[in-house]
A and B are shown apart, each in its own frame.
Chain A
Amino acid sequence: MTKAPNDVVITGIGIVTCQGVGTEPHIALLKAATAPELKIEAERFAPYPVHPMPEIDWSQQIAKRGDQRQMENWQRLGVFTAGLALDDAGLKDDAEACGTMDMIVAAGGGERDINVDSLIVDEGLKRNDREQLLNEKLTTELRPTLFLAQLSNLMAGNISIVHKVTGSSRTFMGEEAAGISAIETAFARIRAGQSTHTLVGGGFVAERPDVILLYEALGAHATGGWTPLWSRDENAGGGIISGSAGAFLVLESRAHAEGRGARIYATIDEIGGDRGRREDGRLESRLDALVDGLAAKAESAIIFSGASGMHVLADREKTWLDTRFAGVPVRAYGGVTGHALESQFPLGLALAGLALANEAKVPAFDPSSEGTMDGAADTAIVTTIGHARGEGIAILKAEK
């Protein structure tokens, strides 16, 4: 690979999944001989299994208790993970760098007050004037600050407040595609010289009934226990097991990174996203177009698939991967972390960056469907196919 000053390189990784906090436990699982121990919560939201948040000491990245109190877990997780990424890049206490740093956050919405919602619908069952009831109850029961904990752009807002990242602040919405567009946009801006360093990523909390409800409206969430991602039980829900996860990257131009002597995990070589109808092979045609001309050698490449596990879609992705990249080992990380919706694609890039930089021979996460790796990879392909729409692929190259 020819190096260029406007290469987009990953210099900081913040990652939180059920497997742990920060890069260390994730490097360990990527370098382990076998798939990590399963971390699943099957009781609390039964019949829905979810990958839970690990134990987190929020104060390590959100020093002020007052700041912690202003947020619910969704925002806390994002702010916490963003802090990890800044720390990892060596920029956490660099006021100048944070003050000029651009930021793109892939976000959904924050937690609703489940008790207030329940109170209102229960009362509504007894009354005919439901709209009047809404006015009464919302006015008296809603905590004013909860609105701010729900607002999509307030994850970014809180990152500005807590970590002083203030070069710019943009929030992208729209499920998996938001995460794809966030990285695609950051990449394009750095390539074109519109930004020198950008914090990009998101956080997702699966342990929310309102989140499970979103999937279940489509019958898409798995029920019962955990099963391997590529062979989810067709008679136990829709295949998706969601997982709480945060993933933020610090992306820099090579010139900016080298100028400050930063450690480079990997270079993002290409990234693209698309959307459209999926029937009759249209999805596969678009995926083909996204990797047009890419040659990946089986012995030196790895695929981090962000497959959600949703029935049919997972099978189609696996078939396409096995056809287009025959012999290249595939690792469906959602089987280990759960599906993280907006954060799924950033999470894949975080894992890919860690794997490349640490020359990991990544164990199969689903050994019945995933081949072994014979040696470390120099190329990582990250996919995410949205459970309802949108798909994206990034190609990462190891720093040599």
Chain B
Amino acid sequence: MTKAAFRDHLGRPIVAVTGMGVITSLGQGLKDNWAALSGGVSGIHGITRFPVDGLNTRIAGTVDFVELPAENPVERSYFYARETTDEALAQAGLSGDFGGPLFLAAPPIEPEWSARFALADRAPPSQRPGDAYDRFLAVLRDKPDPALHEAWLFGAISERLADRFGTRGLPVTLSTACASGATAIQLGVEAIRQGRTDRALTVGTDGSVTAEALIRFALLSALSTQNDPPQKASKPFTKDRDGFVIAEGAATLVLESLESAVARGARVLGIMKGCGEKADHFHRTRSSPDGAPAIATIRAALEDAGIAEDGIGYINAHGTSTPENDKMEYLSMSTVFGEGLSKIPVSSNKSMIGHTLTAAGAIEAVFSLQTMLTGTLPPTINYQNPDPTIVLDVVPNVKRDKQVSAVLSNSFGFGGQNASLVMTAEPA
């Protein structure tokens, strides 16, 4: 290949994906996940990790099949990320120190309730209402607990990943809420385009389903309360959708400049062709009624990729199954793609795996690439009662064989966060 073949339409290094790893409630590893996802299997189930008596939402897409050294979101999020990174590096044929930067999308960490109760057990009695932290401080002043300190640091997960995989420099731990996974990938793409590195490790992980997390989202009326049967609760783009199903998982993508991937004879799984983002200033949890920021995000991703609207063959929707998101996402897609949208299949992985929050953008990027690699569009399951105002080909209920060469993946989140990725099949 000539040098020009390694540059995109703007003269920047083309970014290839050479390794992928994934874990969700459907299983561990891309093979198992893809078999379940393309088979229309739901990973949503009743919560057993903690009691759910009295809660309006009692279902989730938790990952319950792993053994952890300790039960807390840091251990979970680290474990998922470590496993998917092992898988991705093996596929990429990389061993030893990774030697490039790490971009990690991880959930904001809060101290565990079990830790607070344990401190309270050791603490002097209450002197006045609201003095629990004074008592906790007395306990720790007397005897510091470095393990507790480490468990409360936002940088703890990336630190362990950086050590284990030998990444270079300061790892970035980021949150753009439900767009985090896509942002991690975007940061990796940017670093390679800057010429700072030939490769980047991009990871999205979320093992943060706890009682408090569930209750907080429930208090914002964001979650589905259709608990029975759990598998039917997540039903994006339907008339009776009533909220998302909280879930866990992780995905890792090894990004490399196409030039360096080809030079070392790596198999190129796909091209991370373009990224777009645009923040929304309308509201903390709701998007602008005109959809302008989401529209601008999708357009920015297409422009960055150098692909016209009619070049997109499939859309991996954010599709959370909340009344608000699905309506707004449809508005933005129909504005960008116009009449052409009717010819573009659009499905939501969340109908099966739920909303993996911080990890969603990365997991859905892996599934988007797998869609192109296999020529199979994963379905939107639970599509029994279509929302008549959302006219989409959602690949209803059953997978479809169709070869596509360019995919758009959307991620939108609280705090006005919007990010979209455009991926293409190899060759670019």
Of B117, B141, B173, B215, which one neighbours A172 at CB under 8 angstroms? B173
* A138 contacts chain B at the CB level, 8 A cutoff: yes
What would 15 more interface pairs be, CB under 8 Å, given A169-B417, A214-B152?
Answer: A115-B130, A118-B130, A131-B50, A131-B211, A138-B215, A148-B220, A161-B283, A166-B293, A169-B277, A169-B415, A173-B108, A174-B154, A175-B155, A217-B146, A217-B152
Report yes or no: A135 in contact with B51, Cβ–Cβ below 8 A: yes
Contacts of B153 in A (CB 8 A): 174-175, 214, 388
Per-position contact with A for B122-162: 1 when CB-CB < 8 Å, else 0? 00001001111110110011001110111011110011001
Contacts of B416 in A (CB 8 A): 157, 160-161, 166, 169
A114 and B194 contact, Cβ closer than 8 Å, known pairs A135-B53, A139-B54, A166-B293: no
Q: How far is the CA of A272 from the CA of B154 in the complex (A)?
A: 20
Binds B, one of A11-19, A176-184, A243-251, A297-305: A176-184
Report yes or no: B133 in contact with A118, Cβ–Cβ below 8 A: yes
* A192 contacts chain B at the CB level, 8 A cutoff: yes
Binds B, one of A121-129, A260-268, A322-330: A121-129
Per-position contact with B for A280-304: 1 when CB-CB < 8 Å, else 0? 0000000000000000000000000
Binds A, one of B35-43, B183-191, B235-243, B261-269: B183-191
Contacts of A180 in B (CB 8 A): 170
Interface size class of chain A, counting residues whose CB lies under 8 Å from the partner chain: 35 or more
* B193 contacts chain A at the CB level, 8 A cutoff: yes
Report yes or no: B279 in contact with A169, Cβ–Cβ below 8 A: yes
Contacts of A139 in B (CB 8 A): 54-55, 215, 218-219
Q: How far is the CA of A99 from the CA of B113 in the complex (A)?
A: 41
Q: Which A residues from 368 to 396 make CB contacts under 8 A with B?
A: 386, 388-390, 392
Contacts of A272 in B (CB 8 A): 169
Contacts of B318 in A (CB 8 A): none
A188 and B196 contact, Cβ closer than 8 Å, known pairs A131-B211, A147-B220, A214-B152: yes
Report yes or no: A121 in contact with B116, Cβ–Cβ below 8 A: yes
Binds A, one of B85-93, B174-182, B226-234, B364-372: B174-182
A217 and B132 contact, Cβ closer than 8 Å, known pairs A135-B52, A169-B279, A392-B170: no
Report yes or no: B55 in contact with A135, Cβ–Cβ below 8 A: yes
Q: How far is the CA of A115 from the CA of B414 in the complex (A)?
A: 26
Q: Which B residues from 399 to 419 make CB contacts under 8 A with A?
A: 413-417
Closest to B187 in A: A185
Contacts of A121 in B (CB 8 A): 116-117, 119-120, 132
Q: How far is the CA of A122 from the CA of B127 in the complex (A)?
A: 11
The 23 sampled A-B contact pairs (Cβ below 8 Å) are: A109-B110, A109-B154, A131-B51, A132-B51, A135-B55, A139-B54, A152-B108, A156-B415, A157-B414, A158-B284, A158-B415, A166-B281, A170-B183, A172-B172, A178-B154, A178-B173, A213-B137, A214-B149, A216-B144, A217-B146, A220-B149, A273-B169, A388-B150
Contacts of B212 in A (CB 8 A): 134, 138
Contacts of B217 in A (CB 8 A): 147
Per-position contact with A for B196-218: 1 when CB-CB < 8 Å, else 0? 10000000000000011001111
Closest to B211 in A: A134
Contacts of A171 in B (CB 8 A): 174-176
Contacts of B169 in A (CB 8 A): 272-275
A117 and B219 contact, Cβ closer than 8 Å, known pairs A157-B284, A166-B281, A169-B417: no
* B280 contacts chain A at the CB level, 8 A cutoff: yes
Report the count of interface residues on B (CB-CB < 8 A): 82
Q: How far is the CA of A161 from the CA of B414 in the complex (A)?
A: 12
Q: How far is the CA of A109 from the CA of B73 in the complex (A)?
A: 15
Report yes or no: B140 in contact with A219, Cβ–Cβ below 8 A: yes
Of B130, B277, B279, B293, which one neighbours A114 at CB under 8 angstroms? B130
Q: How far is the CA of A161 from the CA of B287 in the complex (A)?
A: 11
Q: How far is the CA of A99 from the CA of B129 in the complex (A)?
A: 46
- Of all A-B residue pairs in the complex, the 5 with the closest CB atoms, nearest first, are A157-B415, A174-B155, A219-B144, A209-B133, A118-B132
* B342 contacts chain A at the CB level, 8 A cutoff: no
* A191 contacts chain B at the CB level, 8 A cutoff: yes
Q: How far is the CA of A251 from the CA of B187 in the complex (A)?
A: 18
* B106 contacts chain A at the CB level, 8 A cutoff: yes
* B195 contacts chain A at the CB level, 8 A cutoff: yes
Q: How far is the CA of A254 from the CA of B51 in the complex (A)?
A: 57
A153 and B417 contact, Cβ closer than 8 Å, known pairs A124-B117, A217-B144: yes
A124 and B51 contact, Cβ closer than 8 Å, known pairs A171-B176, A217-B145: no
* A130 contacts chain B at the CB level, 8 A cutoff: yes
Contacts of A165 in B (CB 8 A): 279, 281
* B385 contacts chain A at the CB level, 8 A cutoff: no
Q: How far is the CA of A374 from the CA of B212 in the complex (A)?
A: 56
Q: How far is the CA of A134 from the CA of B54 in the complex (A)?
A: 11
Could you tell me the distance in whole angstroms from the C-beta of A279 to the nearest C-beta in chain B?
14
Report yes or no: A217 in contact with B140, Cβ–Cβ below 8 A: yes
Report yes or no: A173 in contact with B285, Cβ–Cβ below 8 A: no
Q: How far is the CA of A170 from the CA of B417 in the complex (A)?
A: 8
Report yes or no: A192 in contact with B121, Cβ–Cβ below 8 A: no
Could you tell me the distance in whole angstroms from the C-beta of A131 to the nearest C-beta in chain B?
5
Contacts of A389 in B (CB 8 A): 155, 159
Report yes or no: B155 in contact with A388, Cβ–Cβ below 8 A: yes
Contacts of A392 in B (CB 8 A): 170
Of B106, B117, B175, which one neighbours A130 at CB under 8 angstroms? B117
Contacts of B282 in A (CB 8 A): 161
Q: How far is the CA of A110 from the CA of B216 in the complex (A)?
A: 14
* B171 contacts chain A at the CB level, 8 A cutoff: yes
Could you tell me the distance in whole angstroms from the C-beta of B126 to the nearest C-beta in chain A?
6
Contacts of A219 in B (CB 8 A): 140-141, 144
Report yes or no: B55 in contact with A122, Cβ–Cβ below 8 A: no
Q: How far is the CA of A118 from the CA of B279 in the complex (A)?
A: 36
* B299 contacts chain A at the CB level, 8 A cutoff: no
Per-position contact with A for B73-114: 1 when CB-CB < 8 Å, else 0? 000000000000000000000000000000000101111010
A184 and B170 contact, Cβ closer than 8 Å, known pairs A125-B120, A177-B155: yes
Report yes or no: A144 in contact with B220, Cβ–Cβ below 8 A: yes
